[in-house]
Amino acid sequence: MVELTDHLKGILDTLPVKPGCYIMKNASGEVIYVGKAVNLRGRVRSYFQEHADHERKVLKLVSQIADLEWIVVGSELEALILEMNLIKKHRPRFNVRLKDDKRYPYIKVHLASDFPKVTVTRQMVNDGSRYFGPYTSVWAVHQTLDLLRRIFPYLTCDREITGLDARPCLYYDIKLCSGPCIGAIDRAGYNQLISDLCAFLDGRTDPIVSRLQREMNDAAESLNFEKAGLLRDQLQSIERVVEKQKVITS
């Protein structure tokens, strides 16, 4: 393996044993690779082990690493979302295969529908939908959707949505659907929910939090305590995810 500089040795010695993302840079400061790990210390240090069985691509990557940064998050799921956003932002050269390979799963938001659904796909089609990804596994996608559905309870059934159904499905009762079928949320409200979900996946949470706080306060002042309680729960779910994330560098 490549001989480590004192700078890299110092960074490797201070890596935390926590989940997060790592950002590898070359001598010019260009981001060349972004990865995630349940254990940052173990994962990043494994790249530099002398007897590690690395493929040629990894050996080439390691030979170009001049600097490292990392971001610690609260869970493996948060690391998955963060990794996706960092790859989208920096487009590192050693992530190109992952980024372009359609075999990897994506989250698809069907924006062309009146009441958009959120699904998993391995193909990107020019049909008016938004795609988020790629993810390294279907498990990663479904873990992400499990989180998103609890914060933004989007539609998953195949009902024709009229808002006039007599009864909702079970998912509405367990707060995993916002109930457009019975008119519990109108089209405008549902589309705002989907817009918030997309913003969340883009990493833009501050505008969502500010708007929900205003709506919660307005509902409380209007004595609509049920709506205020729902908005409070949604806010707390978002903030629990966001507040855990902190940036740690060398």
pLDDT tens by residue, the chain, 250 residues = 567 888 999 999 999 999 999 999 999 999 999 999 989 999 999 998 876 566 788 888 899 999 999 999 887 777 887 887 888 788 898 886 544 454 678 889 999 999 999 999 888 888 999 998 777 667 767 877 887 888 889 999 888 899 899 998 888 888 889 999 999 999 999 999 999 888 888 877 777 888 888 888 988 888 888 878 877 877 777 666 554 443 333 2
Query: What are the residues whose beta carbons fall under 8 Å from the beta carbon of 20, sequence distance 6 or more?
Result: 36, 37, 40, 70, 71, 72, 73, 79, 82, 248
CATH architecture of 6-100: 3-Layer(aba) Sandwich (3.40)
d(CA 37, CA 18): 8
Instruction: Give pLDDT, residue 250.
Output: 28
Q: Give the three-state DSSP class for 74.
A: coil
Residue 38: which of 18, 56, 57 has the closest Cα? Answer: 18
CB 178 within 8 A of CB 196: no
* Domain boundaries along the sequence of the chain: 6-100, 102-159+186-200, 205-244
Instruction: Give pLDDT, residue 45.
Output: 92
3-state helix/strand/coil string of 75-129: CHHHHHHHHHHHHHHHCCHHHHHHHHCCCCCEEEECCCCCCCCEEEECCCCCCCC
Instruction: Give pLDDT, residue 116.
Output: 94
